[in-house]
Structure 1
Amino acid sequence: MDIILVRHGETEENALKNFSRKDVQLSQRGRIQIENTRKYIETLDFKKVYVSPLNRTIETMEILELEGIKEKRIQEVDLGLFEGKNYETLEREFPEETKLWNEDPVTYAVPQGESIEGAYSRVKEFLEELIERNENVLLICHEGIIRIALSWVFDRPEYFFKFKAENGSINIITVHEGYKYINKMNYINY
């Protein structure tokens, strides 16, 4: 079975290198990215679509001309107080929190947010449910969730920082007879 992970198109906050807020929309460039991604998606075989309930992923799904089931467990890692800010702003406005986050980026929960480890638990639970169903699925989600899913292949949440997922990219994890592997990574059709 294949778990196809599609990252939403670029947002203005992505372009500014800010940690995205929950309510952002795609930029014009992001919409074009997804229109181009749609051409490749049409060649893939999947039974169901699951989508993060955030605006940018819903908009991505609409551009892909798909219908999906909203799934909160594939919503982006909640960065609480850090949302909408870039790294330089974090160092200035939240120096202690930024220091703690840098020292322990996997288990530290950002105030009013969650840790990578916490997000990993919810994503892992969902992915393992998908394996039990044993059907090809497409997930429209976020870079953090894709990085978590790729880390899950190795059962190592700390691998989160070893991956990158571009806007509009397609990543495929294949599970065959209980063995999971990365089949395609960061495929971009634009």
Structure 2
Amino acid sequence: MEIVFIRHGRTEINKKGCYLGAIDDELSFEGKNEIKNLNNYLKEIEFDAVYVSPLKRAKQTIELLEKSYSIDERLREINFGIFDGLHYREIEKKYPIEYSWWTRDYINYKIPEGESLSELFGRVEDFIKDVSYKHKRVLAVTHGGVIRCAMSLVFGSKEHFYKFQVNHGTVNIISVDNGYMYIKALNSFGNLSEVLV
């Protein structure tokens, strides 16, 4: 089976290079155009189910893709807690102790008022296992952190998280075959019918 992950279009906070987790930011003008362009390649592709993060930027993305969908909380971006909406230089200056702990153990450190990357991995792994038993092809509109987790899980390691760059408004595909996972596409936005056979 295939899981087609789409990262939502760009937002104003994304453009500033800030961490964006639980803040409910809207798509920017550029972000809307990214998704409208992507829709040209997706509109002819059939999906057994469409799942979407509950955050506004993801819901705006799926509405531009004109597909019926179900909300899935597991696709929500990591909650950055006190770091949310800040640039990493601001985090380092405003929260030096928390920043130090976070950089020492970015996987397990639970950000105050937020969550740990390990918790996000748990949500994403649960989603993948769940849908892989139910469907042949799923569309999941979500966030960069979620997609990085999915790609890392292909390699069976949380350590790969920062080795992936996931661009806004792109398609990222993993296949699951009897529990074995592999990557079919990363940051794609062209002719997807050749990848999704």
User: Common fold, TM-score beyond 0.5?
Assistant: yes
Paired residues of 2:49 and 2:135 also in contact (CA < 8 A): no
CA deviation vs aligned residue, 1:23-70 (integer Å, no higher than 9, x gap): 100000000000001111124331110000000000001111112100
Corresponding residue for 1:115?
A: 116
**TM-score, normalization by structure 2:** 0.93
Flag structure 2 segments of 5+ consecutive residues without an equivalent. Answer: 191-197
Paired residues of 1:77 and 1:119 also in contact (CA < 8 A): yes
Corresponding residue for 2:78?
A: 77
Corresponding residue for 1:11?
A: 11
Secondary structure of 1:133's match? coil
Shift of 1:176: 2.1
Aligned residues: 189
Shift of 1:133: 1.1
CA deviation vs aligned residue, 1:99-125 (integer Å, no higher than 9, x gap): 111111111111111111111011101
Percent identity over the alignment is 37
Aligned pairs for 1:105-184 (under 5 A) are 105-184=106-185
Corresponding residue for 1:36?
A: 37
**TM-score, normalization by structure 1:** 0.96
Letter in 1 for 2:17: K
Paired residues of 1:22 and 1:55 also in contact (CA < 8 A): no
CA-based RMSD: 1.1
Runs of 4+, deviation exceeding 3 Å: none
Query: In structure 1, what is the Cα distance between the partners aligned to 2:135 and 2:48?
Result: 10
Query: In structure 1, what is the Cα distance between the partners aligned to 2:67 and 2:170?
Result: 16
